[in-house]
Amino acid sequence: MRLGPRRFAALTAAGWALGALALLLVAPGTGLGQGETASVPSAAAQIARGRTLFVTGCSSCHGYAARGIHGVAPSLRGVGALAADFYLSTGRMPLDSPAVEPTRKRPAYTPQQIAALDAYIGSFGGPPIPHVSLRGSSLARGGSLFMDSCSGCHQAAGAGGIVPGAFAPALSQATPRQIVEAARIGPYLMPRFGPRLLTDAQLASISRYVEYVRGSHNPGGWGIGHLGPVPEGMIAWFVAVPFVLLVARLIGERAEA
């Protein structure tokens, strides 16, 4: 009770751990069983491998040929390797139930498997995986852009927020590549930011700001999760008030019973 935010974090972590465990249990067994070879497979072999993984792990919702199933899940033709990489590398797919909001989990596939699936989805066309370089990006520009376009939902420090109908996830683990991918896709209820609205360079600046602001730049001590007045009020009531209560108890004896 006393360390509210920390407890939340612990609960969240426990939730993730449970989710990851469940995912491991339901994860496609065939994919996990295959030994990974060190050599880089050819493009065609990659696509073939990705197709095998897709059929076992994804086709029940997205359809056998990735054309989607009406009312269940969208077609993946044309979304590109970019979207596949985003959803798989953030653990958002595969999803237990198609009706719930995909949230960040531990990825269900190994990086090699994700590369294969990316190649398979990418073979239908669509944007490739972006190469994001933070070189030349501007922290100040990123901060300003983040305030204009992102903090409305993701909170000023990227700690996450809500919109009626969905959660805007915390950006505490998002990599620059995933940030660019999310902006281009607009996952779930998130709006989309095309390259003419936010260029790759501008998104790189935003990523740089996100990486900066979630770091441990807390000159004032413990940052209590950058969540603002709610945890501050909790500290006031669950730390300061009990402390004063203790002192008052030490000073003021009760009248003898």
Output the smallest distance, CB 165 to other proteins, in A.
4
Give the 3-state secondary structure of residue 163.
strand
What one-character DSSP code corresponds to residue 239? I
Q: Which is closer to other proteins, CB of 32 or CB of 240?
A: 240
Output the smallest distance, CB 97 to other proteins, in A.
7
Judge whether 58 and 72 are in contact, CB under 8 Å: no
Output the smallest distance, CB 107 to other proteins, in A.
20
Q: Which is closer to other proteins, CB of 59 or CB of 144?
A: 144
Contacts 24+ apart (CB under 8 A), 157-161: 157/213, 157/214, 157/226, 158/210, 158/213, 158/214, 159/225, 159/226, 159/227
Q: Which is closer to other proteins, CB of 53 or CB of 183?
A: 183
What one-character DSSP code corresponds to residue 223? -
Output the smallest distance, CB 85 to other proteins, in A.
16
Quick one: which of 38, 27, 50 has its CA closest to 106?
A: 27
What is the rounded CA–CA span in Å between residue 252 and residue 185? 63
> How would you classify residue 141: left for phi > 0, otherwise alpha for psi between -120 and 50, otherwise beta?
alpha
Output the smallest distance, CB 72 to other proteins, in A.
7
